[in-house]
Amino acid sequence: MRKRYKIRKSGVIRNIIFLAIIIIIVIIITKSFQAKDQEKTKTVAGNATNQIENTITDLNQNIENSENNVTIGKVENTAKISENPSETIRELDWNLTLVNSENKMPDNYEIQLDNIDQSRKFDSRAISYLNSMIKNMKSDGAINIWPQSTYRSVKTQEELYNNKVQYFKSIGKNEGEAKALTEQVINKPGYSEHNLGLAVDFNYVKDSFKDTKEYVWLIENAENYGFILRYPKEKESITKVSYEPWHWRFVGVEHARKINELGMCLEEYIEYLDKQISISHKSK
């Protein structure tokens, strides 16, 4: 009886020892996995920290670059600042291309056009702004509005220019006088904003347009669609063009608002932006 009891007791002890060994093995394996997980976590955390630090560095670099390259308004196409700031701003924003009696349309200027109707076209990047402006103007009750003249090819501009010169010569003006008088109302071929496809003449192209509610609406709202009155009366000495209440030019919403805020014409605004870029050059 006692012998049988001893055998049973020794069996229990063996089972306890075996169970203890299993528990120890499980504990060792668990700690091993925990150690690996901790090491993996440290590695992941370290990589994440490095990635965050790199991202912050990149952001700081981008901010620094932006401060050096961006002037005013939304810049459509980011370009490096060149040695000639007056060219740079026009490269940055296609809608700020300056064309007047002293600045010919760039030879490499890419004209992108869409049809307003069967006979009129406008820059495809700006036509939606023009259409929206006219639509909303009519919705506000200024219904007597239509685009009389928009894009004109250089060839068409040449025909208009020559015809006007001939008219002044026919009434007794010499060649020089005829051209001078013509250029007060019609720019030379390649020197007209209409050649860019960014200008629109409204209605009958007459001074009386300034007395209409459509004109008042444009003065109050056109900037919200990216358009400015291109040849204000008080800026004739700068634009070298007589006051044209019917002639509006697309420059983009941000620039239009800034131009009106500063009380500038496009020539003054381009000069203003050039100075900002020049200052940026000197601060490097």
The Cα angle at residue 18 between residues 13 and 20, in degrees rounded to 5: 95
Cα–Cα distance between 38 and 185 in angstroms, integer? 80
| Catalytic residue flag (residue 244) | yes
Residue where the block lists tokens 């300056």? 98
Secondary structure class of 51 (helix, strand, coil)? helix
Q: Is there a contact between 74 and 58 (Cβ–Cβ < 8 Å)?
A: no
Q: Is 203 left (phi over 0), alpha (psi -120 to 50) or beta?
A: left
Nearest to 96 by CA among 79, 75, 67: 75
Q: Is there a contact between 275 and 72 (Cβ–Cβ < 8 Å)?
A: no
- pLDDT of 108 reads 87
**pLDDT tens, position by position, 28-38:** 666 655 555 55
Nearest to 178 by CA among 188, 192, 189, 191: 188
Q: What angle separates helix 154-170 from helix 175-182, to the nearest 10 degrees?
A: 130
List of the chain residues with pLDDT < 70: 1-20, 25-92, 280-284
Half-sphere exposure of 173 (CA within 13 A, CB side): 15
Beta strands in 46-134 (DSSP E): 113-115, 121-123
- From the list 244, 261, 267, 271, the catalytic residue is 244
Question: Which residues partner with 113 through β-bridges?
Answer: 123
Q: What is the pTM of this model?
A: 0.67
- pLDDT of 19 reads 67
For the chain, the maximum distance between any two Cα atoms, rounded to a whole number of angstroms, is 150
Residue where the block lists tokens 């800034």? 258
Cα–Cα distance between 41 and 33 in angstroms, integer? 12
DSSP secondary structure letter of residue 100: B
Cα–Cα distance between 58 and 77 in angstroms, integer? 21
Beta strands in the chain (DSSP E): 113-115, 121-123, 147-149, 199-202, 227-229, 247-250
- pLDDT of 81 reads 36
Secondary structure class of 206 (helix, strand, coil)? coil
Instruction: Tell me the two tokens of residue 247.
Output: 């002639």
**pLDDT tens, position by position, 218-258:** 999 999 999 999 999 999 999 988 899 999 999 999 999 99
